[in-house]
């Protein structure tokens, strides 16, 4: 359903099909109706074989997909593995999420998502369903325990359903949405809907459209995400390792930026000022993460702080190093039509650096230098 919805709003079909086909064979993509809504349905051609986590990761890394898509797919399955370990205490086999169709779905969805080149992803409250599920571990209430664990870690908002709903979100879907998410709520500023699309599920109940809706919206003008919440707390009894982990978790939960600034606290004790910049309205949710991880008893919250934002765009730059060419994304910042900054995307740079075995900063420098040449020529 995720891949179908992304294809419906313009994701690169050829790249997505190629990535999925490299895992299980070319998928079947068709236009269907669900309660009168035309939707894209994607079916893989996989067997029911179950694999271990290392086997799944090997198949992902051997997929015919971009390095960024493979890296994202690996992170998706790492989310699932953490959830499985939390629920079962081990991950001897991945059962339903370890089948080849799940591998193809994740690689395809990541490829489709990255091909859209969006600046961010907002996941609205997810319907989980109700009733019961029958799987490899027997029958248990919907949603699946692993699904709840994944959403607990990511902090995405969810809604429970009725017993007749059945399972509306699987662990695979939960992990994909959690990985894609970079904010939890739409901005209060006006936006325009560029396109919308629907991915179809297998079931076709008459009373409700069994579809996942995706849309691309565009914010224009200086108001785009211009209001933010600022969170601050001082800590002097937290180890550097815990602070590092907290920074990572806050970023994963959708914080725009997180910093830990050394400072001197009362009685001359050394400590850190932890500062978080969050989307307006996200402050309370991220403050809960800070309190949970840092054990702090007080968090200062300054709401609706205005921030200046330069115009931004993302471009792909062809870079050839050691005889290998890759498309590296760069983010370009402009002010009054003039380019003021160019920054190579970390995921693309790190994946290429890992492949070649050379420093990431070398690839970043070469990419940014070429980007300046290309963008400079296009502006003349």
- Distance CA(190)–CA(187), nearest Å, equals 8
pLDDT of residue 200: 95
- Distance CA(295)–CA(288), nearest Å, equals 10
227-306 and 311-379 share one fold = no
**What's the rounded mean pLDDT across residues 321-338?**
86
- Distance CA(328)–CA(350), nearest Å, equals 10
- Stated as kind and residue range, the H or E segment containing 268 is none
Largest CA distance in the chain: 68
pLDDT, tens digit, for every residue of 357-374? 999 999 999 999 999 988
Q: What is the band of 341 on the pLDDT scale with cuts at 50, 70, 90?
A: confident
**Cβ burial, residue 184 (10 Å; 0-12/13-18/19+):** buried
Neighbours of 122 (CB within 10 A): 17
Least confident span in 103-107, 112-116, 307-311: 307-311
Q: What is the band of 11 on the pLDDT scale with cuts at 50, 70, 90?
A: very high
pLDDT, tens digit, for every residue of 176-211? 999 998 865 666 567 789 999 999 988 888 888 899
- Stated as kind and residue range, the H or E segment containing 79 is helix 67-88
Architecture of domain 311-379: Roll (3.10)
- Stated as kind and residue range, the H or E segment containing 353 is helix 346-356
Report whether pLDDT(173) > 80: yes
What are the residue ranges spanned by the domains of the chain? 2-218, 227-306, 311-379
pLDDT, tens digit, for every residue of 48-99? 677 888 889 999 999 999 988 999 999 999 999 999 888 877 656 555 555 7
Q: Is the pTM of this model over 0.75?
A: no
Residue 365: name the closest of 351, 349, 352 by CA. Answer: 349
CATH number of 227-306: 3.30.70.1380
Q: How far is CA 321 from the centre of its chain?
A: 28
- Distance CA(15)–CA(10), nearest Å, equals 12
Q: What is the band of 332 on the pLDDT scale with cuts at 50, 70, 90?
A: confident
pLDDT, tens digit, for every residue of 119-151? 889 999 999 988 887 766 667 887 888 999 999
């Amino acid at each position: 359903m995720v891949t179908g919805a992304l294809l419906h709003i313009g994701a690169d079909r050829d790249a997505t099909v190629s990535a999925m086909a490299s895992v299980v064979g070319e998928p079947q993509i068709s236009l269907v109706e669900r309660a009168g809504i035309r939707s894209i349905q994607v079916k893989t051609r996989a067997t029911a074989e179950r694999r271990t986590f290392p086997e799944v990761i090997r198949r992902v890394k051997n997929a015919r997909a971009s390095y960024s898509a493979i890296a994202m797919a690996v992170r998706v399955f790492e989310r699932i593995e953490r959830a499985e370990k939390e629920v079962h205490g081990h991950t001897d086999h991945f059962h339903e999420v370890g089948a080849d169709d799940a591998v193809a779905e994740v690689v395809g969805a990541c490829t489709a998502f990255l091909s859209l080149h969006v600046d961010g992803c907002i996941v609205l409250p997810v319907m989980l369903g109700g009733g019961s599920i029958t799987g490899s571990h027997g029958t248990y209430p919907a949603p699946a325990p692993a699904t709840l664990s994944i959403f607990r870690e990511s902090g995405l908002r969810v809604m429970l359903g009725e017993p007749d709903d059945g399972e509306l979100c699987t662990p695979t879907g939960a992990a994909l949405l959690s990985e894609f998410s970079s904010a939890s709520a739409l901005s209060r500023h006006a936006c325009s809907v560029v396109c919308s699309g629907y991915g179809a599920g297998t079931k076709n109940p008459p009373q409700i459209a069994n579809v996942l809706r995706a849309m691309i919206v565009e914010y224009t003008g200086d108001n785009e995400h211009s209001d933010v919440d600022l969170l601050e707390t001082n800590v002097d009894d937290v180890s550097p390792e815990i602070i590092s982990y907290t920074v990572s978790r806050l970023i994963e939960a959708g914080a725009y930026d997180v910093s830990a600034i050394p400072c001197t606290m009362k009685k001359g004790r050394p400590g850190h000022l932890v500062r978080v910049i969050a989307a307006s309205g996200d402050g309370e949710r991220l403050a809960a993460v800070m309190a949970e991880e840092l054990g702090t008893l007080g968090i200062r919250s300054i709401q609706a702080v205005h921030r200046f934002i330069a115009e931004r765009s993302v471009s792909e730059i062809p870079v050839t190093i050691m005889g290998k060419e890759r498309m590296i994304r760069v983010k370009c910042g402009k002010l009054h039509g003039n380019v003021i900054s160019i920054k190579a995307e970390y995921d693309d740079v790190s994946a290429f650096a890992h492949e070649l075995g050379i420093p990431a900063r070398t690839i970043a420098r070469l990419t940014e230098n070429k980007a300046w040449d290309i963008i400079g020529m296009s502006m003349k």
